[in-house]
Chains A and B, each alone.
Chain A
Amino acid sequence: MVNKMVRPALPQIFVYALLIFWASTTIVPLLWVLLNSFKSSEEILTQSFAWPESFAFSNYLKLNEYGNINIVKGFMNSMLISGSVVFGVALFGGLASFILARFSFRGKKYFTFLFVICMLLPQFAVIIPNFIIIEKIGLNGTYLSVILPQVAGNLSFAIIMMTAFMASLPGELEEAAVMDGASIWKIFYRITLPLCMPIFATVSIMVFLWSYNELLLPLVYLPIRDMQPISVLLSLVSNAYGTDYGAMMAAITISIIPLLVLYMFSQETVIKGLTAGAVKG
């Protein structure tokens, strides 16, 4: 496996060319959304890839006139709902992953199978049965009516990712802690959790993103405008007779800003390579 003779390194310029090419395909749509948010619907459909005729903010102002929605409140609701979803997923998923990665018990592989089944099931396939359940346990009209199904819907993803991450982490630190007589709970939050920060951060941002963009669930489960998240704005730009594409672009523009900021923060915890010292102790 070791070969000191050959040292072929992919020319860096090639790597950069490829990365820059990909970056341009990912930046363009964001710019497209931003530029189109200054156009009228008509202009978007007919002149979508041209520079806007003028930089008017009428689409943004229009969102405010959608009568019964308060954008600031929508953001707060989004933070509350998606924040709770992330918290629930990270907490319950973290605990479950710790068990799957570090405990040995009979029937463990059935649990893994169970999580895979749950992950394969699309949320919209169970939207009506879930609604009936929510009604039965008396959650309708509360924030929990959208939080709990989303926690459940994202748990499998989180558990599969976090278990894989934890399982491959070296166990020396935990073994040492057991020797010192630390409790399992303490091992979890003092040793495993800090080491798993990168995967927690990544899973959390993804779960936040999906929850934040979830549209049908709040529309159907939480029809009270004062409690609805900002994603509902995006459903309001369409009506029976067509879509206000200008307003749609404006709604997307204002709603993705918090996501990008959160993403950048979360990825700061994902640093290249574990520090050797932490593992070797």
Chain B
Amino acid sequence: MKKKAVNKTVGLLVVMALLSTLLAACGGSDKAEKEPEKSGNKEISLRVATSFAGSDPWVPVWTKAIQQFQDENPGVKIVDESTPVNQEALRTKVKADAATGNLADVLFYFNGSETAILADSNSIVSWEEEFAKDPEWAKQFNAGIVDKVKYDGKLYALPYIGFYEGLFWNKALFEQHNLEAPSTYEAFMKAVDTFASTDIIPFATSLTTPYLQEALILSQVGPEGQQQAYDPSWAPALNIFKELNEKNAFPKDSLTLDDDKAQSLFASGKAAMMFNGSWTAAGLSQDPDIQISPFPLVPGGKGEGVIVSGFGSGWYMKNSKDQEKYDMALKFIKFMTSPDIAGEFAAIGGTYAVQTKASENTAQLLVDGNAMVSAAKDFVMPIDSYVSRESYTQFLNGIGYVSAGRKTAEEVLAEAKKLNDKIQ
């Protein structure tokens, strides 16, 4: 009997020990978390969350810059919480952090409708005050761009790396078929018709990606019209999708294709044209036949000389109560936006909202792309920067239905508008 009791006790103890380990671990983690804050005098640890992770093109520069900052500021530890943007991992992380009041000290994150969520949490800095304190630094930012990325009249996301979208076309294929450059809508449509009768795909796109839609709507309704979310005046632009689809302009499986595969159709010369973002330019620039130009003006369109371009992300800073942490986060952002570091980022690609040290980036396609941006009369951000995510998902999904002739453009616009109105 005694032995039995002992064994029972042992069993109980094992389980209790395990449970207490779990509890201890919970408690322990609490301490571990708070310690660095208490001993702030010695070491400041800054949590930074950006999209510079993994195969993102700016990762090498980013990693180097962090190292340099830590070397220049002993006692500062940068905790890099960068997360890829794909699979919505970064969005989910930042929103979950915001929901739990656990925002990183520095963020390089989407602006537009995303700014609203962060601004509503009252935990991020609006930059007016810091700009006033350091006019030298403020001057480095392009004032026109700063105006465009404000939310409710306030600047929360410091613009940094920008992008543009353009019509990429394969000059060799155009010449082979005696076609003019697609600088007018007539030339564009003629190219579509001509290539459609060959085994070259006229226009490489997936009907699940947003780029062509952005170009067509902007061209149709112009910058002011583009701000009227899902206005019925957008309908003619969507009907062009149907027209192009009927002309066999798109890859046969464009409804299920993804953008990577659409890009590879264009890059390998199986397709003659593609409308896509500046991020594809670096890869395409090795082929001298690839040209870039703005999307041509559609008939009756109001968007002449306007391109889709913008600064979809920016530097945010948490409004930290800890003054030392606040100052260090500010220093870090100033460091990242300095001409030296921005110059290194610029060498990878993109357009910049801050002054950058000149880099010797000579790829012709990138030069042409930047020339296209400077020649543009105006630029606008893509639609998704100011509409609700749900309405936008619905809208993009609707484009497939319009192309296939299963829904009218008006129906799709009305559905998206209904969802968008719900949130405002």
Q: Measuring CB to CB, which residues of chain A are less than 8 angstroms from any residue of chain B?
A: 41-42, 45-46, 65-69, 91, 95, 127-128, 131-132, 135, 137-142, 144, 148, 181-186, 188, 215-216, 219-220, 223-225, 233, 235-245, 247
On whether the beta carbons of B87 and A216 are closer than 8 Å, the reply is: yes
Q: How far is the CA of A227 from the CA of B3 in the complex (A)?
A: 44
What residues on B are CB-neighbors of A237 within 8 Å?
54-55
Partner of A242, one of B26, B99, B263: B263
On whether the beta carbons of A224 and B100 are closer than 8 Å, the reply is: no
Which one of B84, B92, B96 has the greatest number of beta carbons of chain A within 10 Å?
Answer: B96
Partner of A67, one of B26, B60, B260, B264: B60
On whether the beta carbons of B54 and A223 are closer than 8 Å, the reply is: no
Shortest Cβ distance from residue A214 to the other chain B in the assembled complex, whole angstroms: 13
Shortest Cβ distance from residue A184 to the other chain B in the assembled complex, whole angstroms: 8
Which of B74-82, B129-137, B246-254, B376-384 forms part of the interface with chain A? B74-82
* Interface presence of B371 (CB below 8 A): no
* Interface presence of B70 (CB below 8 A): no
Shortest Cβ distance from residue A167 to the other chain B in the assembled complex, whole angstroms: 22
Across the interface, name the chain A residue whose C-beta is closest to B23: A137
Shortest Cβ distance from residue B12 to the other chain A in the assembled complex, whole angstroms: 8
Known contacts A41-B264, A241-B280, A245-B260; 9 further A-B pairs (Cβ under 8 A): A95-B15, A135-B100, A183-B7, A185-B10, A219-B83, A220-B96, A239-B55, A239-B56, A241-B279
What residues on A are CB-neighbors of B102 within 8 Å?
135, 140
What residues on A are CB-neighbors of B30 within 8 Å?
138
Known: A137-B26, A144-B29. A45 touches B7 (CB 8 A): no
On whether the beta carbons of A186 and B29 are closer than 8 Å, the reply is: no
Shortest Cβ distance from residue B21 to the other chain A in the assembled complex, whole angstroms: 10
Partner of A238, one of B25, B27, B86: B86
Q: How far is the CA of A177 from the CA of B7 in the complex (A)?
A: 14
Q: How far is the CA of A53 from the CA of B380 in the complex (A)?
A: 43
Known: A127-B92, A183-B11. A66 touches B54 (CB 8 A): yes
Q: Measuring CB to CB, which residues of chain B are less than 8 angstroms from any residue of chain A?
A: 1, 3-4, 7-8, 10-11, 15, 18, 22, 25-30, 32-33, 49, 51-57, 59-60, 62-63, 79-87, 89, 92-93, 95-96, 99-102, 259-261, 263-264, 267-268, 277, 279-280
Shortest Cβ distance from residue A279 to the other chain B in the assembled complex, whole angstroms: 24
Shortest Cβ distance from residue B226 to the other chain A in the assembled complex, whole angstroms: 22
Shortest Cβ distance from residue A67 to the other chain B in the assembled complex, whole angstroms: 4
What residues on A are CB-neighbors of B33 within 8 Å?
138, 140-141
On whether the beta carbons of B99 and A225 are closer than 8 Å, the reply is: no
Listed from nearest, the 5 A-B pairs whose CB atoms lie closest are A236-B54, A185-B11, A67-B63, A135-B100, A223-B81
What residues on B are CB-neighbors of A45 within 8 Å?
260-261, 264
Known: A236-B84, A239-B55. A144 touches B100 (CB 8 A): no
Q: How far is the CA of A91 from the CA of B17 in the complex (A)?
A: 13
On whether the beta carbons of A138 and B264 are closer than 8 Å, the reply is: no
What residues on B are CB-neighbors of A244 within 8 Å?
55
